[in-house]
Each structure stands twice: as C-alpha cells, then as structure tokens.
C-alpha cells in the first residue's frame, strides 16, 4: 500500500491561486509528485480521503469543482461536485493522468474505517493547525506551531499510531482539519508494517500547517 499526505489547500489549483500561483509552485509540485507515488501501485483503486462535516462515501460519478471559490471549471463539466477537500484529491489524480478506479471517502471525528476495504493507494487530504499567525484563519495560538512540528515528526517517522492518536480536543482548538482523517487512516492501516516514510515538506505560508509526505507498506 502507498499512502500520500497532501494539504487541503485550494491554492494548489492555479486557477484558484490566481496571481499567487507561482508562489505556491513548490507545494503544488510536491503534492503532484506524492500523488504520482500513490498511483505507482499500478492496478487497483485509489482512495481519496478527507475530513468533512458530512461523512460517507461519494459516488465516483462526482468530480472536482471550485465554483465555491469563485472559479468556474474550464472546460465546463456537468458532473456533480465533490466536497472541495475531496475535490483537491480528485484534481491531483487528474493532473497525473490516473485512469484507474477511485473511491472518495469523507470522514468526521467519529468516523472509523470499519467496513472500508483497503486499497493499494490512499491519498489523504488534510491540514495541520490554522492558528500559526495573527493573520491565520483562527488567529495566533502559541500552541499551534509545536503541534504542527509534532505532526511533521510523526509523518517523517512513519508513526501510524502517533498520528492517529493526536490530542483530539487540542486539534479542535487549533483548527487542525487533518486530525479526523489521520485518525481514520490509522484504523484503515491497522498493524501493517511500514517500510518507508518521507516528509517532503512542512510549511505554513498562510498561517495554516501544510504537509506533503508519503508512506509505503
């Protein structure tokens, strides 16, 4: 199994980022590279998983669209839209030309992986804290940066249990949207042995913790 970690940052899409797209080039390139690794499984499905208030699986006839950010899809596509964090994963799969199967799974804090059949590839979309600076969505909280540093360490170390058992209350306080999907991932992986772990980047250019990394089992 290949697992990739990417941020739920709409700015990954150049059309959404607009004039700042070049500033986010390295983050975008890293996310595309990790998505390529996830899809190196060859055959089989890729699961795209992300935190979302309404949990459940989304039909594969859904696709990405970021009209909610004021950006129409070009060329137009009439298919129903995924929640935007899942849409980021779908967009990344399209960018790398993935033509295999896809499964879209939205999870909340209470969602478990029970009943979900593991797939050869899992693309996990989620952010760290959103309180790294005064201009961050949640404004500054001095606990945010250490929390994100710990997340980065856990991804780099391939610490499945540590990532899945992050302090849920603190994660909520710090607006860490990735905590729920990382917890779900721990349940999906179970006791599988990890053979390789890599943290490609950890950055917070807009006061939100972004991580790109990969695990191989």
Element at 203 (helix H, strand E): strand 196-203
Terminal CA-CA length for the chain: 5
pLDDT above 80: residue 63: yes
Q: Which of the four pLDDT bands, split at 50, 70 and 90, describes residue 191?
A: confident
The pLDDT assigned to 210 comes to 98
State the Cα–Cα distance between residues 39 and 137, nearest whole angstrom. Answer: 32
CA distances 162 to 6, 65, 69, 112, 188, Å, are 18, 33, 34, 16, 14
pLDDT above 80: residue 138: yes
- DSSP-derived 3-state class of residue 42: coil
* Angle formed by the axes of helices 84-95 and 25-38, nearest 10°: 80
Q: Give the largest Cα separation in the chain, rounded.
A: 45
**CB-based contact 17:91 (threshold 8 Å):** no
Number of independent structural domains in the chain:
1
pLDDT above 90: residue 26: yes
Percent with pLDDT over 90 in the chain: 88
Q: Which of the four pLDDT bands, split at 50, 70 and 90, describes residue 15?
A: confident
**CB-based contact 35:122 (threshold 8 Å):** no
How far is Cα of residue 86 from the mean position of the Cα atoms in its chain? 8
Q: Which of the four pLDDT bands, split at 50, 70 and 90, describes residue 38?
A: very high
Percent with pLDDT over 70 in the chain: 100
Mean pLDDT calculated for residue range 13-33: 89
We report the CATH number of the domain holding residue 33 as: 3.40.830.10
The DSSP code for 135 is T
The boundaries of the domain holding residue 91 are 2-216
The pLDDT assigned to 148 comes to 98
| Residue 39: partners with Cβ closer than 8 Å, 6 or more residues away | 2, 46, 93, 96, 98, 100, 121
Strands 210-216 and 121-125, sheet pairing: unpaired
CA distances 5 to 2, 13, 115, 163, Å, are 10, 17, 22, 12
Mean pLDDT of the chain: 95
Mean pLDDT calculated for residue range 189-198: 93
pLDDT above 80: residue 20: no
Mean pLDDT calculated for residue range 36-41: 93
């Amino acid at each position: 199994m290949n697992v990739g970690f990417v941020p739920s940052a709409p700015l990954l899409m150049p059309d959404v980022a607009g004039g700042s797209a070049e500033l986010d080039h390295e983050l975008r390139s890293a996310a595309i590279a990790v998505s390529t690794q996830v899809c190196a499984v060859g055959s089989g499905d890729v699961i795209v998983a992300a935190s979302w208030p309404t949990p459940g699986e989304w039909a594969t006839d859904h696709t990405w669209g970021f009209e909610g950010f004021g950006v129409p899809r070009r060329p137009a596509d009439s298919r129903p839209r995924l929640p935007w964090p899942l849409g980021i994963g779908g967009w990344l799969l399209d960018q790398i030309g993935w033509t295999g199967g896809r499964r879209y799974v939205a999870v909340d804090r209470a969602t478990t992986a029970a009943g979900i059949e593991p797939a050869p590839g899992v693309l996990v979309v989620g952010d760290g804290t959103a309180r790294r600076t005064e201009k961050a969505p949640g404004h500054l909280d001095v606990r945010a940066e250490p929390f994100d540093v710990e997340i980065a360490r856990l991804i780099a170390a391939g610490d499945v249990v540590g990532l899945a058992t992050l302090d849920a209350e603190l994660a909520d306080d710090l607006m860490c949207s990735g905590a729920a999907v990382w917890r779900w991932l721990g349940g999906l992986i179970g006791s599988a042995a990890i053979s390789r772990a890599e943290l490609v980047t950890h950055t917070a250019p807009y006061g939100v913790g972004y991580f790109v990394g990969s695990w191989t089992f």
